[in-house]
Amino acid sequence: MKKLALSDEILLSVEKPSRYIGQEYNSYNKEFNEYPVRVAFCFPDVYDIATANLGMQIIYEQFNRRPDAMCDRVYSPWIDLDRIMREKQIPLFAVESQRPVRDFDFLLITLQYEMCYTNVLQVLDLSGIPLHSEERTEEDPIVIGGGACAYNPEPIAAFFDVLYIGESETRYDEMVEVYKKAKQDGLSRTEILKQLANLEGLYVPRFYDVTYREDGTIASFSGIVPDVPEKIRRQAADMRDDTLPYPMKPIVPFTRGMMDRATLEVMRGCIRGCRFCQAGMIYRPTRNRSLDFLKKAAVSMLESSGYEEINLSSLATSDYSDFAELTEFLIPYCNAHKINVGIPSLRIDAFSLDVMDKIQDVKKSSLTFAPEAGSQRLRNVINKGLTEEEILSGAAEAFKGGWRRVKLYFMLGQPFETDEDVKDIAVLSDKIARVYYETVPKEKRQGRVEITPSTSFFVPKPFTPFQWAKMDRPEEFLRKAHLLKDTLKEQLNQKSISYRYHDEVQTELEGLFARGDRRVSAAIEAAYRKGCIFDAWSEYMKPELWKEALAENGISLDFYNYRERSVDEILPWSFIDVGVHPSFMKQEWENAKNGVVTPNCRENCSKCGAARYPGGVCYENQM
């Protein structure tokens, strides 16, 4: 039994001490000193959230299955322990080995959500690692960031030695080999970083410089040391390879996490091409895992973990090519073992509803639709690929099947939105309620239908056709939310409709971080120094401190959020090549302006550029 980094006294004084002790079922427990390469992998949020992240478990498995490496996990200490560690000067530690993070060769930090950026600084600070890459010494681990937010790394570039652009399965093994050889050759930290910079997909910010024009836009982005690549090319795994690392024996947390279940990733990417969706662009092309692999993985994960639920994970699960065959295998297996099957991201059609009806112990409490917009005009603008007829017919099928609660997801503030589009959210919600009363005979109703529309506020993201769009200001978001609320009161079935909307302050910062440049990092650091952490948690969000930090560092939200960009402007992420041609993005931006719908990838190839990656939907009809 390893000596714990925290005393019993401390553990007994904090909420959920099991977050910090490691030794969970199915975790690796490699001896720290027996391996030449030691990796600490961090999810910069509380343990309960982090344990649900599949990417973290994939990378954990990828490093630990190597005979020459060990990988340990790190999480952001919750507010109570954060305070104690600062008071008592206890360094942040990894949970399996209980060793200080600074002892490791690499610190990998996954960047899943922009509002975790101050938590990245919390992790570095508590670990005793200088916040800025240029200030680190030979005694510090190499700090690497990856994940969805790394596709615009510039607002946090100062804090990372390396940013990995792409999917982990493709380059990390090669990185380990380069590092081992460099250490054997006695190379310095800077020399090692130069070697890593020449691995495709790895970006070392300190080797590049940015200049700006008088109007604040970027004038140039270029390398300042010899031989670094001009473009950083995204890495994408070939999902046909069943030997890729996957957590066949997932870690079972001691404390209940956000998702207490096994996660089965059926595919990556999405064929739909929604113009607001970053994931649908940066994970192109759609790549299926093999049916045989998924069957084996499902059984292995369930038998090794004791989980009572398995969740099929993807951006659009019902678009998986072998979806029918997979559910035909899973449903009888899971029914026999009293295991629930979770299938989010379904298009609500007769087949999908039939599948859900067969799932063991399915509770017909609610179904979720994501129309994203109330009017057909705006759904065409965003390329949702969903008609009102399909929405209403799907609702009718659901009500016939016994469901009477429906959640509806919309966005407010999308490009080219009008007040009529906002009002149409209320109208569509009412139409769905009417379908219930028209479809279900009075004697078969089990109470009033419950329709819950909720709205988030639109944030333009890099590498989407809307990356050039301006955001609504917070007061405009709220005006639209109140307009929608008032319009709902005018509907026939208003008593059956309950409306919720997202926080506008967090949305404003998310927009800044999503499209910011290197100048934003000073404000992030200033906010952290003032006490901002766990900004994704509304109860810990400190808007006034953020306003001070932005003002003190000359960060104008008018510049970063509230202006439409020219398609010819050099964007902070323009040096990254995600495989989707800029010309395709520009054409989609024009299509959005004109309300032109682009067919999905299985209906017609739009020549977006993603065909260069192997094993995707681009080749399905050629095999």
- Number of domains comprising the chain: 2
In this prediction, residues 451-465 reach a mean pLDDT of 97
pTM: 0.95
Asked if residue 104 lies in contact with residue 37, where contact means CB atoms within 8 angstroms, the answer is no
Compute the distance between CA of residue 459 and CA of residue 514 in angstroms, rounded to an integer. 8
Q: Count H helices and E strands in the chain, helices first.
A: 20, 19
pLDDT in the model for residue 504: 82
Residue found under tokens 């609702």: 395
Does residue 592 or residue 257 have the better pLDDT?
Answer: 592
Q: Would 332 be classed as within a structural domain? A: yes
In this prediction, residues 595-611 reach a mean pLDDT of 95
State which residues form the domain around 284.
237-363+591-623
Q: Would 571 be classed as within a structural domain? A: no
Beta-strand pair 367-372/37-43:
unpaired
The DSSP letter of residue 375 is S
Instruction: State which of 182, 216, 233 marks the end of a domain.
Output: 233
Q: Would 533 be classed as within a structural domain? A: no
Q: Would 539 be classed as within a structural domain? A: no
∠ CA 586-589-594, nearest 5°, is: 130
Report which of 579, 50, 583 is spatially closest to residue 285, judged by C-alpha positions.
Answer: 579
Asked if residue 334 lies in contact with residue 310, where contact means CB atoms within 8 angstroms, the answer is yes
Burial call 518-544: b when 16+ CB within 10 Å, e when fewer: bbbbbbbbbbbeeebbbbbeeeebbee
Compute the distance between CA of residue 162 and CA of residue 41 in angstroms, rounded to an integer. 14
Q: For the domain that residue 340 is a member of, what is the CATH number?
A: 3.30.750.210
Confidence class of residue 368 from pLDDT cuts 50, 70 and 90? Answer: confident
Compute the distance between CA of residue 167 and CA of residue 241 in angstroms, rounded to an integer. 14
∠ CA 21-76-100, nearest 5°, is: 60
Instruction: State which of 233, 248, 274 marks the end of a domain.
Output: 233
Asked if residue 458 lies in contact with residue 276, where contact means CB atoms within 8 angstroms, the answer is yes
Beta-strand pair 576-577/232-233:
parallel
Alpha-carbon Rg for the chain in angstroms: 25
Q: Indicate whether 51 and 64 sit together in one domain.
A: yes
Confidence class of residue 360 from pLDDT cuts 50, 70 and 90? Answer: very low
Digit-coded pLDDT (tens) for 258-288: 678 999 999 999 999 999 999 999 999 999 9
Q: Would 556 be classed as within a structural domain? A: no
Compute the distance between CA of residue 323 and CA of residue 330 in angstroms, rounded to an integer. 10
Q: Indicate whether 115 and 51 sit together in one domain.
A: yes
User: Is 140 a residue whose pLDDT tops 80?
Assistant: yes
Q: Indicate whether 202 and 243 sit together in one domain.
A: no
User: Is 180 a residue whose pLDDT tops 60?
Assistant: yes
User: Is 314 a residue whose pLDDT tops 80?
Assistant: yes
Asked if residue 224 lies in contact with residue 208, where contact means CB atoms within 8 angstroms, the answer is yes
Q: Indicate whether 38 and 115 sit together in one domain.
A: yes
User: Is 364 a residue whose pLDDT tops 80?
Assistant: no
Q: For the domain that residue 200 is a member of, what is the CATH number?
A: 3.40.50.280
If phi > 0 it is left, if psi is from -120 to 50 it is alpha, else beta; for residue 265 that is beta
Asked if residue 418 lies in contact with residue 482, where contact means CB atoms within 8 angstroms, the answer is no
The DSSP letter of residue 411 is E
Confidence class of residue 621 from pLDDT cuts 50, 70 and 90? Answer: low
Show the tokens assigned to 430: 């009412």
Helices of type H across 340-450: 350-358, 376-381, 388-400, 419-439
Mean pLDDT of the chain: 94
Compute the distance between CA of residue 611 and CA of residue 173 in angstroms, rounded to an integer. 25
Q: Would 111 be classed as within a structural domain? A: yes
With residues binned 3-state (H G I as helix, E B as strand, rest as coil), the percentages for the chain, rounded to 5, are 40, 15, 45
User: Is 356 a residue whose pLDDT tops 80?
Assistant: no
Compute the distance between CA of residue 530 and CA of residue 534 in angstroms, rounded to an integer. 13
Nearby residues of 265 by Cβ (< 8 Å), 6 or more positions away: 54, 246, 289, 313, 314
User: Is 499 a residue whose pLDDT tops 90?
Assistant: yes
Residue found under tokens 């427990």: 29
pLDDT in the model for residue 1: 63
Sign of CA dihedral 44, 517, 279, 175: negative
Q: Indicate whether 248 and 116 sit together in one domain.
A: no
pLDDT in the model for residue 248: 97
DSSP string, 492-548: TTGGGB--EE--HHHHHHHHHHHH--GGGHHHHHHHHHHT---TTSGGG--HHHHHH
Q: Indicate whether 172 and 241 sit together in one domain.
A: no
Q: Would 353 be classed as within a structural domain? A: yes
In this prediction, residues 78-103 reach a mean pLDDT of 98
Compute the distance between CA of residue 441 and CA of residue 286 in angstroms, rounded to an integer. 42
Compute the distance between CA of residue 77 and CA of residue 42 in angstroms, rounded to an integer. 11
The amino acid that residue 317 corresponds to is T
pLDDT in the model for residue 462: 98
C-alpha pair distances (Å), 188 with each of 132, 135, 136, 468:
18, 14, 12, 41
Confidence class of residue 527 from pLDDT cuts 50, 70 and 90? Answer: very high
Q: Indicate whether 274 and 289 sit together in one domain.
A: yes
C-alpha pair distances (Å), 46 with each of 113, 257, 606:
13, 10, 41
Digit-coded pLDDT (tens) for 10-67: 999 999 999 999 999 999 999 999 999 999 999 999 999 999 899 999 999 999 999 9
The DSSP letter of residue 471 is P
Instruction: State which of 181, 201, 233 marks the end of a domain.
Output: 233
Asked if residue 494 lies in contact with residue 427, where contact means CB atoms within 8 angstroms, the answer is no
Asked if residue 498 lies in contact with residue 452, where contact means CB atoms within 8 angstroms, the answer is yes
pLDDT in the model for residue 623: 45
User: Is 380 a residue whose pLDDT tops 70?
Assistant: yes
Q: 332 - beta bridge partners?
A: none
Compute the distance between CA of residue 385 and CA of residue 603 in angstroms, rounded to an integer. 11
C-alpha pair distances (Å), 373 with each of 48, 274, 294, 445, 488:
32, 12, 34, 29, 15
Asked if residue 406 lies in contact with residue 366, where contact means CB atoms within 8 angstroms, the answer is yes
Question: How many residues are there in the chain?
Answer: 623
Q: Indicate whether 142 and 278 sit together in one domain.
A: no
Report which of 107, 106, 116, 114 is spatially closest to residue 49, judged by C-alpha positions.
Answer: 116
User: Is 470 a residue whose pLDDT tops 80?
Assistant: yes
Q: Indicate whether 71 and 123 sit together in one domain.
A: yes
Q: Indicate whether 354 and 339 sit together in one domain.
A: yes
pLDDT in the model for residue 345: 74
User: Is 362 a residue whose pLDDT tops 60?
Assistant: no
Q: Indicate whether 219 and 280 sit together in one domain.
A: no
If phi > 0 it is left, if psi is from -120 to 50 it is alpha, else beta; for residue 298 that is alpha
pLDDT in the model for residue 108: 98
pLDDT in the model for residue 282: 97
Query: How remote is the C-alpha of 494 from its chain's centroid?
Result: 34
DSSP run (H or E) holding 189: helix 189-197
Nearby residues of 467 by Cβ (< 8 Å), 6 or more positions away: 460, 461, 515, 565, 571, 585
Sign of CA dihedral 447, 498, 113, 320: positive
pLDDT in the model for residue 561: 98
Q: Would 241 be classed as within a structural domain? A: yes
Q: Indicate whether 78 and 156 sit together in one domain.
A: yes
